[in-house]
Amino acid sequence: MNQREVNIAVLGAGGRSQCIVANLLRDSNNKVKILSVFDPDKEVMAAAQERWQSEAKACDTYQEAIDVPGVEWVIVASPNAFHKEHILAAFAAGKHVFSEKPLATSIEDCEAIYEAHQKTNLKFATGFVLRYAPLYRKAKELLTSGKLGKLLSIDANENIAPDHGGYIMRNWRRYTKLAGPHILEKCCHDLDLLNWFCESVPTKIASFGGRDFFIPENEYMNEKYGEKTFATWHDPHAEKSPFTSEKDLMDNQVAIMQYRNGIRVMFQATMSNAIPERRMYFSCTEGTMVLDLYPSTLKYRCLGDEGVVFIDFGGDGHGGGDSYIMKELYETMIDEKAQPKCSGNEGLESAVVALCIDKAAQTTSLVDLEPIWKSLNR
C-alpha cells in the first residue's frame, strides 16, 4: 500500500497523548504531520511539541486547532468530560476522529456522539489499545475457533497496585465530573474486551462498591509503608496524599452481568493490591482458559487433553498493544475503504456498560439496559 501524508490536529497533549502521537509518527514512518495542537496548559503543549519534534501550530482553543487548513483527522486525547464537545466539533468540521477512551462520561453524551456520527460518512476510531494486544487477540481466536466449546461465563478483574491507585486518587481522575467513575475511566478497556469476547452486550447488571481504602483514616499508611508506595507516579499537579485528597470515586467494586446471549460475567475492580492482577478466567463447555495481562501469559486446556497449553507473550505496556494500534490506525487513515478495527460503536457500548455498572452500585438496584440499547438501535 502506498503511503501518503496525513494531516492531524491533536486536542490534549498530556502523557497518553504524547505517547500515542509519538507512536503514530513512528509507525507511519513520519508520514503523519501534526498541523495543530491544543492544550490549556502551555507548558504541557510545549513539552509535547518537543517530544514530537513538531512545528505544529500551538492553538489557544480546540476549535482553532480543528480549523487549521489541511487537517483531516482529529486526535481527541483531552480529559474525558471534554470528549463529547471535541468529537462533535470535529464531526461538524468534517474531520475524521480518533478518540482516546472512554467515549464520554454520561449516557446522554454517548447518545449525542452516536447521533452526530450517524449523520456523517466520517471514520471514527476508539483507543482501546488492549484489542490490539497479541494476548487478547489469541484469546479471541481460541474462543472463535470453537476449540474450547461454547463460552458459559467469565470471571474478570482489574486489581491495580497501590502506586497506580494512588496516582488516580491524586490527579484529575479522582473527580467524576472530569473523568467519570473509575469503572468507566480505567475499566472501560476490560468491559470492551468482555463485550468482544461475548459477542453480545449485557441486558441486566447488578453492582456493589464504595470507597473504603483511600480514606483519611488510612493516612497512617503513608508513614508505615512510605509515601512512595502510593505516590511513585509523577504528576506536577497531583495532590500529595491519595488518602486525604478531595475525591468522589469508589476504590472497590464488584459487578455481575447477564448478557443477551446467556453468557454470565463477574467483574471486580480494586485500587490497592500487593499482588496486582488483570485476569480473565473463561469457563467453556469443552475447555478452560485463563489469561493475565501483567505477566502477559495465557493458558488453556481442553477436555481430554493431557496437559495445559501455556503461552508467554512478553510485550511492552498494554500487553504489546501499543506496538500495533497506531500502525493499524494509520492504515485506516490512508485506505479509503478501511474501517477502524475498534470504532466509535465499541467505545459507545463499553461506556454504556460502565455507566450502568456505576448506576447499579449507586442505586443498589438491578439495572435493565434494554431501553438504552433500544434508543441506540442495538
For each of the chain's 378 residues, which pLDDT tens digit applies? 567 899 999 999 999 999 999 999 999 999 999 999 999 999 999 999 999 999 999 999 999 999 999 999 999 999 999 999 999 999 999 999 999 999 999 999 999 999 999 999 999 999 999 999 999 999 999 999 999 999 999 999 999 999 999 999 999 999 999 999 999 999 999 999 999 999 999 999 999 999 999 999 999 999 999 988 999 998 888 999 999 999 999 999 999 999 999 999 999 999 999 999 999 999 999 999 999 999 999 999 999 999 999 999 986 668 889 889 999 999 999 999 999 989 999 999 999 999 999 999 999 999 999 999 999 999
All structural domains of the chain, each given as residue ranges with its CATH number in brackets, are 6-130+326-341 (3.40.50.720), 131-321+348-375 (3.30.360.10)
Nearest to 276 by CA among 153, 149, 158: 158
Can you give the pTM of this predicted structure? 0.96
Q: In which element (H, E) is residue 297 found?
A: strand 297-302
267 neighbors 255 (Cβ within 8 angstroms)? yes
CA distance 293 to 152: 22
Can you give the C-alpha Rg of the chain in angstroms?
A: 21
CA distance 259 to 205: 9
